[in-house]
Amino acid sequence: MERKTKVSAEDGKQEIIITREFDLPLELLFRAYEEPGIIEQWMGTKVLKLENRKHGSWQFETSDPQGNIVFKADGVIHEFVPNSKITRTFEMANAPFGVQLELLQFESVTDETSKLSIHTIFESVALRDQMLKLPFAAGINMAHNRLQEIVNKLK
Amino acid sequence: MNLRRDVFQAIADPTRRAILLLVASQSMTAGAIAANFDSARPTVSKHLQILTECDLLEQEQSGREIYYHLNPKKMKEVADFVEVFRNMWDERFNKLEAVMKNYKPKK
């Protein structure tokens, strides 16, 4: 399958650039970042607050089926230009990753396709590297949980 | 990922998973690793021993200190981390695309 999502994380730099082309018109792509009800659907997180304006703030939270909070993040919106640009900060609660600056750029490619680039700047190279490794660590956790489920069924 | 039984046992413990995450970004001495946990030092040492025995961690002597780091052969360096990270975003964006197609006006 074609690699639609690209990640650039150069050694020794405190930034990550993620780009992706979508089979969606620009307006629809932007709505996916604008409307709380839609964000909840694709990100699987609860949107507690989302003020889409300069100096607005946002707050997301995810709970497991038992009601324990497993993910909580918030930040402020520095710039909000519909169908073009969102500049915001991102900070995960109870996590040692510091605050990140996120620059999201939305572009139209054709009438039916669009492109998103997310440029994330971290406080340090070490924090960026740690964040890059997070899905890997989560993968170890998931692999373990899956194995645990299989083992439990054998009991 | 093909997990052998010993690796499975190694990552079955939350403290050991936390240790792997800690040393993922830098080599650390046993003391520096232990400082991150409430457990007694010998308990942490035992965890380090198990992780080392199943090749998830490697030891490196530097002067009088022994540093622990992820075994690059088992964990193949940053490129693999980036690939897992990319996959996560790819899946997330695939979901976004699928969700948004429902909002497309019918022609």
Q: Which residue of B has its CA nearest to A25?
A: B104
Q: Considering the entire predicted model, what is its pTM?
A: 0.66
Neighbouring CB atoms inside 10 A of B45's CB total 14
Cα B52 from Cα B46, distance rounded (Å):
10
pLDDT digits (tens, 9 = 90+) for B70-99: 876 665 444 567 777 888 899 899 999 999
Of residues A53 and B17, more confidence is placed in A53
Closest CA to A20 of B84, B101, B81, B86: B86
Cβ separation of A140 and B89 shorter than 8 Å?
no
For residue B69, what are its two tokens? 């780091």
**SS3 state of residue A10:** coil
For residue B37, what are its two tokens? 């946990």
Cα B82 from Cα A102, distance rounded (Å):
18
Distance from A53 to chain B by nearest Cα, in Å?
22
Of residues B20 and A30, more confidence is placed in A30
A-B Cβ pairs (cutoff 8 Å, strict): 99
Distance from A57 to chain B by nearest Cα, in Å?
22
Cα B38 from Cα B57, distance rounded (Å):
21
Q: Say which residues have a Cβ less than 8 Å from residue A4's Cβ, sequence separation at least 6.
A: A20, A21, B90, B93
Nearest to A147 among B8, B80, B84 (CB): B8
